[in-house]
């Protein structure tokens, strides 16, 4: 599981530039003997089972990143954030610019304290508008010659760390753990004769407004939707626990309320019963943010987001517990074999 998740995390795919991760996942789906397709918005879709009723299992494959907005005459590069990146996490970061000529390495520079006339500057968060990428060039033409220009996508260089043999920390755990969950569920259920259509969707452009899910809502219109996405947990110092009460290592989470949607009560009770019968630890909690499931609920589809708790969300060191992920996969594999009773 560690190796599979690392492989997914290492593949770039910022919102609007999902082609590399889409290609990787479609290859993994193909290895399972399943045909997939990509729709007009860039969502990757695969399907098993038969029948008039359908269930969508959706996880977004895009990630946070940057995009080149301007190259100065002196070669330095300005950028725009893609998705909800906290400016505090950008300072002093190594980055990879994904040009058509290959990967160009760079760093996000900042004024050193030695050259500050007013040391109070150290107490301020520097806005991304005042940051720049240095790729070691001295002119715009030199930067362009490396393949760097306006619209070049940029990813923060990733480290994949295993802590205490139980925790995974990396940039992009959200929502590559969800992508892996879908692959594992597909591998387990593909040979079963499901009495309904189970549609797997690895969605695009979630981080910039759930746009891929909007397309799924308008084109597929399933009977039920299960969104696999992260649960921002308050299981850390300096955060009031009641704001998002789910602890790492204590099982997957039913994300019953967030800023965009409320889970369907029937689906909540269904998964609670599945977990009770199979001795799967389960947490039920509320948090902030939103998931792809909100867009399907908005058109009248019954929906529930299922998650694992994550510390340090939208930072370079997002952290999950491997057992939570394993138990989430088990819950879905078992539940999807019985969910036709809700259709």
Q: Is residue 155 assigned to a domain?
A: no
Q: Is the CB of residue 211 less than 8 Å from the CB of residue 43?
A: no
Report the CATH number at residue 300.
3.40.630.10
**Average pLDDT of the chain, as a whole number:** 96
Of 58, 5, 53, whose CA–CA distance to 214 is shortest?
A: 58
- Tokens standing for residue 150: 């306006």
Q: State the CB neighbour count (10 A cutoff) for residue 138.
A: 11
Please tell me the predicted confidence (pLDDT) of residue 93: 95
Please tell me the predicted confidence (pLDDT) of residue 112: 86
Using CB atoms within 10 A of its CB, is residue 303 exposed (0-12), middle (13-18) or buried (19+)?
buried
113 and 169, same structural domain?
Answer: no
320 and 268, same structural domain?
Answer: yes
Please tell me the predicted confidence (pLDDT) of residue 120: 83
Q: What is the pLDDT of residues 56-106, one digit of tens each?
A: 999 999 999 999 999 999 999 999 999 999 999 999 999 999 999 999 999
Please tell me the predicted confidence (pLDDT) of residue 117: 82
Q: Which positions are annotated as active-site residues?
A: 206
Number of structural domains in the chain: 2
Report the CATH number at residue 133.
2.40.30.40
- CA end-to-end span of the chain, whole Å? 32
Please tell me the predicted confidence (pLDDT) of residue 122: 82
Q: Is the CB of residue 156 less than 8 Å from the CB of residue 316?
A: yes
Q: Containing H/E element for 107?
A: strand 102-109
Please tell me the predicted confidence (pLDDT) of residue 179: 98
Please tell me the predicted confidence (pLDDT) of residue 111: 81
Please tell me the predicted confidence (pLDDT) of residue 124: 87
Please tell me the predicted confidence (pLDDT) of residue 118: 83
Cα distances (angstroms) measured from residue 285 to each of 98, 257, 260, 262: 38, 7, 14, 11
131: containing domain: 72-149
170 and 217, same structural domain?
Answer: yes
Of 217, 237, 228, 230, whose CA–CA distance to 295 is shortest?
A: 217
pLDDT < 70 stretches in the chain: none
Cα distances (angstroms) measured from residue 151 to each of 21, 187, 264: 18, 37, 40
Last residue of a domain, one of 115, 149, 183: 149
């Amino acid at each position: 599981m560690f190796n599979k998740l690392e492989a997914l995390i290492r593949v770039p795919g910022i919102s609007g530039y999902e082609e590399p991760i889409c290609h990787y996942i479609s290859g993994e789906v193909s290895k399972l003997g399943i045909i997939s397709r990509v729709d007009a918005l860039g969502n990757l879709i695969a399907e098993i089972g038969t029948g008039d009723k359908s269930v969508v299992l959706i996880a977004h494959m895009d990630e946070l990143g940057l995009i080149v907005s301007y190259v100065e005459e002196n070669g330095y590069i300005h950028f725009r954030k893609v998705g909800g990146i906290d400016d505090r996490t950008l300072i002093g970061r190594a980055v990879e610019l994904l040009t058509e000529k290959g990967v160009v390495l760079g760093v996000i520079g900042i004024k050193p304290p030695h050259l500050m006339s007013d040391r109070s500057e150290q107490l301020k968060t520097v806005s991304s508008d005042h940051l720049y990428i240095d790729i070691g060039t001295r002119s715009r033409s030199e930067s362009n010659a490396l393949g760097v220009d306006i619209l070049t996508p940029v990813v923060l260089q990733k480290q994949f760390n295993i802590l205490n043999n139980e925790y995974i920390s990396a940039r992009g755990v959200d929502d590559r753990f969800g992508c892996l969950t879908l692959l594992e569920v597909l591998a387990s259920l593909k040979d079963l004769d499901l009495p309904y259509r189970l549609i797997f969707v690895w969605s695009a452009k979630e981080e910039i407004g759930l746009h891929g899910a909007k397309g799924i809502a308008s084109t597929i219109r399933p009977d039920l939707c299960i969104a696999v996405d992260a649960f921002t947990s308050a299981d850390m110092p300096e955060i009031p626990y009641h704001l998002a009460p789910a602890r790492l290592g204590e099982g997957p989470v039913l994300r019953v309320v967030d800023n965009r949607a409320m889970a369907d009560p029937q689906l909540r009770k269904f998964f609670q019963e599945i977990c009770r019968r199979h001795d799967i630890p389960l947490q039920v909690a509320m948090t902030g943010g939103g998931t792809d499931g909100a867009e399907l609920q908005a058109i009248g589809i019954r929906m529930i987001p299922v998650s694992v708790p994550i510390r340090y969300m939208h930072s370079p060191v997002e952290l999950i517990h491997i057992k939570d992920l394993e138990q989430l996969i088990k819950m879905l594999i078992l539940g999807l074999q019985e969910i036709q009773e809700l259709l």
